[in-house]
Amino acid sequence: MPKESTELLKFLTPFSDEVRVTALWLRDFVWDLYPQSNELIYDNYNALAFGFSLTDTAGDAFCSIAVFSKWVNFGFNRGSEIDDTDKILIGNGSLYRYLKVADTKAFPVKAIKKLLQLAYVNAQARLKDGKKTTKGETILKMQLQKKRRPGPDIDLVKVVNVPKRK
């Protein structure tokens, strides 16, 4: 079950309602499937990003959500290593692959569930023996004061109604 995160809600405040709702819907989607994973939050210069990891480090993350001013990316940190048979992911880098999400109604749930399963198994296989795993935590990893994103820094949390998936 998704954890409440005051920090994440605060960081999402400057974004439009549409972008906030999409980001939170995607977060719930991953938490529902992988409640034992850890959410790592990075409030960066260009985007607000949160990834889901087997440990408390980004190197062990299997997927991420990057929130930009006008859209949200749902990505796989080692997407080039998983079999995207439906060819829905984009990206030319050596590892990262993603899907630009403009509307949750058009989100390819079945295909993404399959890719998440592959990414999770890949992350487990890459986990070094003896590495400490933590389970189900939300961890703030970085918060930059200067940002190239919408709105000023805001201390108040704006409550968002997130539509439930069917």
Nearest Cα residue to 163 out of 22, 3, 14 = 22
pLDDT at 154 over 90: no
Residue 89 lies in a domain: yes
Residue 132 lies in a domain: no
> Residue 116: pLDDT band by 50, 70, 90 thresholds?
very high
How many angstroms separate the Cα of 50 from the Cα of each of 22, 39, 73, 123? 13, 6, 11, 16
Residue 158 lies in a domain: no
* pLDDT, average across residues 93-113: 94
Specify whether the CB–CB gap between 158 and 9 falls below 8 A: yes
Residue 74's domain comprises 6-127+138-143
Q: Dig out the tokens for 141 from the structure.
A: 């990893």
Q: Number of structural domains, the chain?
A: 1
Residue 65 lies in a domain: yes
pLDDT of residue 101: 95
Residue 23 lies in a domain: yes
pTM here is: 0.81
Residue 148 lies in a domain: no
Residue 165 lies in a domain: no
Q: What is the pLDDT of residues 54-93, one digit of tens each?
A: 988 888 999 999 999 889 999 999 999 999 999 999 999 8
Residue 66 lies in a domain: yes
> Residue 14: pLDDT band by 50, 70, 90 thresholds?
confident
